[in-house]
Chain A
């Protein structure tokens, strides 16, 4: 045992030394790699997501779709304005922690990424954006809907997805439009992290304008192991409309409890809900979640491009493409477009090109082009109302994107 220890110690010590030396050498080598010239054949795009930890599943799907987009672009000849330069995704793992996210951001910048994408959790995203801003490298948010993030006067950051404010406003608008007269009361239930509270606040403030009475607002911690008491509360209130904001696991817990107790609610509507908009949700709950609604970002169901994308994703990863993944996919196309126009992979040129983005052909369910305002937010970002019908997600509102009529529970 002692001998073993000694051997282990020696191995360990030498590995440490070697890695440290290697690390330093690598560091000095890539020191000035930040702005590799336009003649380079490979353009690096950084991607920081929580690949380990609680959000590993969602993060993985985003990375998958980014890789898919890059393959498509490279197969189609890369960035033509730069002599067919190829794109490469450099992946960083934020481990769901802000300072790891920040240091991964720094690493990807050091490795010469022209632009970064990330990171799913708003807190981590914000920290990473601060780092990108300081290093003067553009940062395109894939998924993170916190409003305040873009109120800091950042000049290098962009976001194509709708923020929590847009979600909540759209929700209020759409629900006013589609509600029937027998829907008089509502309960809002959401998880208590940034994602839930952001939209939750705006909805509870504006609920009155829809003419529906908000009976209660129930919050819980997303990592909870049970929601039975919350559902008990809910059962006592008997709302006509249940509004739920949460991730996949907690929303599933909620639905499980509702089903077990046979609680039927006239209308269930999520807001950017990680559960209801996931196809696994349908396969797990079947008929019981029929007619559930979700106000969420989504791909445009009526475009051929989308249909092809969904098929190729499924073929490649044998899993349905999640709603989050769409933003990973589209983010790469937005970047490729900027690179094409910039004709350079210098972060500054990419940023300037990003500012004048105007993409009309995209897979998103939003009317109008992808184009950024001065803050860096996508002006036309919008949510759509999705419903589960016959075991499929279909868009039911606004009519521009609708695949089907909204169905009501009797």
Chain B
């Protein structure tokens, strides 16, 4: 019973981080229909930015978060502007291979700049977990979960309540129509990609207290994020969050009952079932 509760809590907390990273994929796909295979590498970038700020300024990841967000936004904005916008009109497989190429470049540029050493960031007071009876709660993940909620809410407000958000949504529904309405679609794309990368970067930053930082450390999340984004319904914020939590819990329980090696299998099966039964995802509109 104890294990059951513990696994639920661990699953939910991990799911929160997945959800945030997946939210970025979902946003990018929702607006530009780009399958961003560089997402994992950009999560790693988020980790290294956090790490550098920690080393240079001695600030914890949580304090560094605004700076990480700004940096990541700029990176995302530029990636879209320089690499992806010129390719917006052509067949989708080009963007796919391009993001794959970018992932290779980013990952190895990090290797060149920072070496392959395992780096870590420690937050004072976060080494031990919170204890509630026999249940323990990981502090960094709990804090990450709160940040995820705040950022998801922020993105929701941005998309639903602001002019910029309306422009983004209009672009996602129909780029041609948006152009006619005077929206500069390439710039909206850049902003949307920037926001998506902010999600990736923040997820990376929030992960730094819980794991080692090395040039390929974000890769583990890459495929899982796609699964979650599709499961939740591409382009759907709450869908991504819900799906992230579900996948987190499913992973946790399948690791408990079947062993960690098989948990991936369960995740991919859920993914395929989603595609077959409801390709628009958990909360996606009916197609």
Contact = CB atoms under 8 A, between A and B. Distances in A.
Interface string B134-147: 00101100000000
Contacts of A59: 116
B128 interface: yes
B285 to A, nearest CB: 31
A410 to B, nearest CB: 21
Interface in A19-70: 52-54, 56-57, 59-60
A66 B10 CA distance: 43
A253 interface: yes
A1 B86 contact: yes
Nearest to B134: A235
B250 to A, nearest CB: 11
B12 to A, nearest CB: 11
A229 B256 contact: yes
Interface in B218-242: 219-221
Nearest to A53: B216
Interface string B113-141: 00111101000000111010000101100
B23 to A, nearest CB: 17
A361 interface: no
B120 to A, nearest CB: 6
Q: Identify which of A220, A225, A261 gathers the most chain B CB atoms within 10 Å of its CB.
A: A225
B251 to A, nearest CB: 8
A259 B127 contact: yes
B215 interface: yes
Nearest to B140: A260
Interface stretch (B94-102, B172-180, B258-266, B274-282): B258-266
A390 interface: no
A260 B128 contact: yes
Nearest to B129: A260
A228 B220 contact: no
A226 B7 CA distance: 12
Contact of B220 (A57, A225, A262): A225
A222 to B, nearest CB: 10
A261 to B, nearest CB: 4
Interface stretch (B49-57, B160-168, B206-214): B206-214
Q: Identify which of A1, A221, A232, A280 gathers the most chain B CB atoms within 10 Å of its CB.
A: A232
Contact of A57 (B86, B117, B219): B117
B260 A259 contact: no
A280 B252 contact: no
A interface SS class: helix
Q: Contact residue range for chain B?
A: 35 or more
Nearest to B224: A225
Interface string A120-162: 0000000000000000000000000000000000000000000
B255 A220 contact: yes
A256 B253 CA distance: 20
Given A60-B116, A225-B221, A253-B211, A236 B128 contact: no
A261 B129 contact: yes
B245 to A, nearest CB: 14
B13 to A, nearest CB: 8
Nearest to A218: B259
A284 interface: yes
Interface of A: 1, 52-54, 56-57, 59-60, 192, 218-221, 223-230, 232-233, 235-236, 248-249, 252-253, 256, 259-262, 280, 284, 319
14 contacts: A1-B86, A60-B115, A218-B260, A220-B260, A221-B260, A226-B10, A228-B10, A228-B14, A229-B7, A230-B255, A253-B211, A260-B128, A280-B118, A284-B120
Interface of B: 2-3, 6-7, 10-11, 14, 86, 107-108, 111, 115-118, 120, 127-129, 131, 136, 138-139, 207, 210-212, 214-217, 219-221, 251-253, 255-256, 259-261, 264
Given A228-B14, A229-B7, A249-B118, 16 more contacts: A52-B111, A52-B215, A60-B116, A221-B264, A225-B207, A225-B211, A226-B14, A228-B138, A228-B252, A232-B3, A236-B2, A248-B118, A253-B212, A256-B210, A261-B129, A280-B118
